[in-house]
Structure 1
């Protein structure tokens, strides 16, 4: 209010402005700082003494203050209990919603599982159904039908047993037990691929070596061992010792590249 009054008086022209020089302004500002510091120090001292006096003087209504404090504590406890009940209700409602959602997902899962089982069951046709589809509108003796069903049953059983084998060694043993020689003889080996996969029915015997192959091999060795075509290595350790032979052969390099 004082500042506004001074501004109002300045506008009216009742308060004259005092113009100071630079040194005068500096001294005046220093004096203001000192006075402000003194005022703050005195005010703080008075407040400190007043607080000390109030602490040492007992209040006549101390019992009422204690009672009011107890009421405040009770109200705060009631408010906390209300907040706790409200939060608990929120959590219970959230749990119920999540439980309902979980039950709905479980029902959907069970529904689709049963649907998948029905589809798989419909796709897995029995040997009798396959034979009936094969002999549709064709009249054959009952013996032929029985033999066709027997072949389908054996094929299915062999295929299932082969699929259950996990290791390649087990499949090799399976092949050794059931050798498809007759299938190969009657040109039916391609029909056995469902229960003879991964090359288990392929032969892994040694390669036949004829006289012509041995002659070509001997000519190549003679050509490479000839001094005109190769040069021996000078090192003492530049030797090759064949397995099972006591004779050592010196290493050699070709004099020129061979173009075939």
Structure 2
């Protein structure tokens, strides 16, 4: 990775980054975690993965503040001492950065800790571009891609230009923007379970916009959204490869696309 001098090259101390892996990445797509580590290390960081738990977002969105606080306290303690906390998910990073301070706003003991953690927590591509100043990744990918802007990353963290800047630096990549790239895919965590009919209609519209680009690959920065869209495209028989943007940026595409078996993968 290039575009900015690494800490090692300038004699500066390497930033110590705690990677918040996220539950879905850990359980469903570990390759995203490994790609994130590669991108961060290539950018000059020391990366550690502490023992961690859920950020608490499902409980928070369901109104269970007690469980959310218990989980949040564990996260705050697990990530003490790191220069930065980085997550390959705008959703989980948004929970920590935007909602932990709200969660503890009536607790003078935990509120300063929540604010301190929020201040050093970032979504992956935002951290690379906005904090480290990375402008180019040393990876190539041959083909057209389209990009979905996940709700939390876009609206809570203003993640939009950062992944596009990094993709534009890659050899062989052509980004084809879809209509309404910033409109929800219909997942929304527990929303998809509670309001399945509405969720289904939303992802149906999203799938049509994806298909209209004729790009063979769909990218995004949140695995929940990616799994939702990959499921819809698969059910519709559309052979569109779905991947997390970190996998492309790191040049780590040996794993089949999300929701595809190895013999189905066209790239």
Normalised-by-shorter TM-score class: under 0.3
Higher helix share: 1
TM-score w.r.t. the length of structure 2 is 0.18
RCO comparison, higher one (Cα < 8 Å, 6+): 2
Higher strand share: 2
